Amino acid sequence: MDQTKIDALRMQAVPDFKHLINGQHVAASDGATMDVVSPADGTLLTRVAKGTAADMNAAITAARAAFEDRRWAGQPPATRKKVLLKWADLIEANALELAVLGVRDNGTEISMAFRAEPGSAAATIRFYAEALDKLYGEIAPTPPGILGMIHKEPVGVVGAIIPWNFPMMIGAWKMGPALAMGNSVVLKPAETASLSLMRMVELAHEAGLPPGVLNAVTGEGAVVGEAMGLSMDVDALVFTGSGGTGRRLMTYAAQSNLKRVYLELGGKSPNVVFADAPNLDEAAAVAAAGIFRNAGQVCVAGSRLLVEASIHDDFVAAVAKAAKAMRVGDPLKLETQVGAVNSEAQLDANLGFVETAMAEGGNVVTGGTRILQDTGGYYMAPTIVTGVTPDATLAQKEVFGPVLGVTPFETEEEAIGIANSTVYGLAGGVWTANLSRAHRMVAGIRTGVVHVNTYGGPDVAVPMGGVGQSGNGHDKSLHAIDKYINLKTAWIKL
């Protein structure tokens, strides 16, 4: 990446964004818009359409019509593959533009956003494009004279609600397999970060995706998200976000057509460090990056640090040193390692968690404050709190900010008990040189992914999903396709 090119792109005016319905840019039915404020400097960046329930229903109607006339589902696999591969190519060709637009919108540091957003999105779309013509039906073992066949068919219209932290990456996790299998899709981007995702949808149409197959409606979740959840014409609903919203979506499904609902609801991921970790300095640096990159706004962030008591003080000091060395600031500077918090409301919530932690007996080792206020943006110092008991608020509630709670442990069994002491089960990490212990910890920690002697990094080839109140179903890998198909049995007498 070139800083000069980044600086030039950041100076470009951002046009207002409208809905994308049936291949057309469409204003909100009542003409309303929402301001888009950049978390980097607090300035007005642009405006997006503030959708109504009627707007969402129009998008769903377009998606249903596209599915029923099979303009996409009826295409040969090779044709769908060609379009999706071209889409991935266009994402890559416009990667820097997309990354800068996204950073201006949500505050992620550009060094991370470039890889995690357009880079990851293109790779994900390409993965499912390459997979779609390699997925076969099945022949069942049956009695003589019977042929049992199992067909895989698209589920129909998929509604996808995308969060603000990595809209392109997570959007691709939903759109890639859904479109590959022949479904139509309606997107609802986050209110505070929709621009790069909307541009990505435009590129899909440039790649040749037929009108109506992929639609996007911006607006408030309580309005357009609710309309999507209550629609009788949405067959499957996929969501990444908060547990409260996930519960509402399940209620909407029950109140409407019993649509299937798949949820990824975040976590309170434990990062467990034993005294025999192969490299404690590396573990400290990775632990800091695992919670403070993107200002802690990562669903799998290692927000609970569990440290063997014999090394607790020294290890916390090493993590604090790494945290203090991380460069917080302008997310469009290549040297920045921690960008902006997404919104002022999120920043206030983060600071509230620190206050609660102190009131409950925690000790702030470093950070705990808002910084760089003169920029007009929303920045928080990487924060480490020790003395966090397993039942403390900071150990139980997801902050979604750059706040790390530290809890000591004495034994392997105690570490597993603490790791499993929340309602969440999305991710975790273990640092040990003992191979047998590593396997026991992987088996013992109830999460969808456990990292060993690292934290973060799994790509599209492996599934991403949680247990407990971290949700259900999986994004990424071939397993994600299961959410977007129906199995149909043909029982044929010969």
Per annotation, catalytic residue among 109, 117, 191, 264:
264
Q: How many whole angstroms separate alpha carbon 113 and alpha carbon 104?
A: 11
**Band of residue 243 on the pLDDT scale cut at 50, 70, 90:** very high
Q: For residue 465, is it within any domain?
A: no
Single-letter residue type at 302: G
Mark whether 447 and 489 lie in a shared domain.
no
For the stretch 355-400, pLDDT in tens is 999 999 999 999 999 999 999 999 999 999 999 999 999 999 999 9
Average pLDDT score over the chain: 97
Q: How many CB atoms lie within 10 A of CB 351?
A: 18
Q: For residue 324, is it within any domain?
A: yes
Q: How many Cα atoms are found within 13 Å in the side-chain-facing hemisphere of 291?
A: 34
Q: How many whole angstroms separate alpha carbon 228 and alpha carbon 215?
A: 12
Predicted pLDDT of residue 1? 87
Mark whether 356 and 237 lie in a shared domain.
no
Structure tokens at 195: 């621009």
Cα–Cα distance list, 367 to 23, 252, 325, 350, 420 (Å)? 47, 41, 12, 12, 27
Q: How many whole angstroms separate alpha carbon 316 and alpha carbon 319?
A: 5
Exposed, middle or buried by CB within 10 Å (0-12, 13-18, 19+), for 410?
A: exposed
Cβ distance 196 to 114 under 8 Å?
no
Q: Please name the residue that has the structure tokens 């709190």.
A: 385
Q: Is a pLDDT exceeding 90 seen at residue 35?
A: yes
Helical ranges in 340-468 per DSSP H:
344-359, 393-396, 412-419, 435-444
**Band of residue 8 on the pLDDT scale cut at 50, 70, 90:** very high
Predicted pLDDT of residue 457? 79
For the stretch 182-195, pLDDT in tens is 999 999 999 999 99
Mark whether 66 and 172 lie in a shared domain.
yes
DSSP letter assigned to residue 449: E
Q: How many whole angstroms separate alpha carbon 426 and alpha carbon 271?
A: 12
DSSP letter assigned to residue 14: P
For the stretch 448-489, pLDDT in tens is 999 999 998 779 999 999 999 999 999 999 999 999 999 999
Q: For residue 142, is it within any domain?
A: yes
Mark whether 422 and 452 lie in a shared domain.
yes
- Compute and round to an integer the Cα radius of gyration of the chain: 23
Torsion angles phi and psi, residue 107, rounded to 5: 90, 0
Q: How many whole angstroms separate alpha carbon 111 and alpha carbon 1?
A: 9
Chain centre to alpha carbon of residue 372: 27
Torsion angles phi and psi, residue 161, rounded to 5: -110, 120
Mark whether 325 and 436 lie in a shared domain.
yes
Q: For residue 347, is it within any domain?
A: yes
Mark whether 37 and 163 lie in a shared domain.
yes
Helical ranges in 265-333 per DSSP H:
280-292, 312-325
CATH of the domain at 345: 3.40.309.10
Exposed, middle or buried by CB within 10 Å (0-12, 13-18, 19+), for 482?
A: middle
Torsion angles phi and psi, residue 297, rounded to 5: -90, 60
Mark whether 284 and 223 lie in a shared domain.
no
For the stretch 76-94, pLDDT in tens is 999 999 999 999 999 999 9
Mark whether 10 and 97 lie in a shared domain.
yes
Say whether 264 is catalytic. yes
395: containing domain: 270-459
Predicted pLDDT of residue 485? 98
Query: Could you give the number of structural domains in the chain?
Result: 2
Q: In what order do the strands lie in the sheet with 363-366?
A: 363-366, 383-386, 403-409, 304-308, 270-273, 427-431, 449-452
Mark whether 244 and 292 lie in a shared domain.
no
**Band of residue 339 on the pLDDT scale cut at 50, 70, 90:** very high
Mark whether 247 and 319 lie in a shared domain.
no
Mark whether 313 and 361 lie in a shared domain.
yes
Q: How many whole angstroms separate alpha carbon 226 and alpha carbon 229?
A: 5
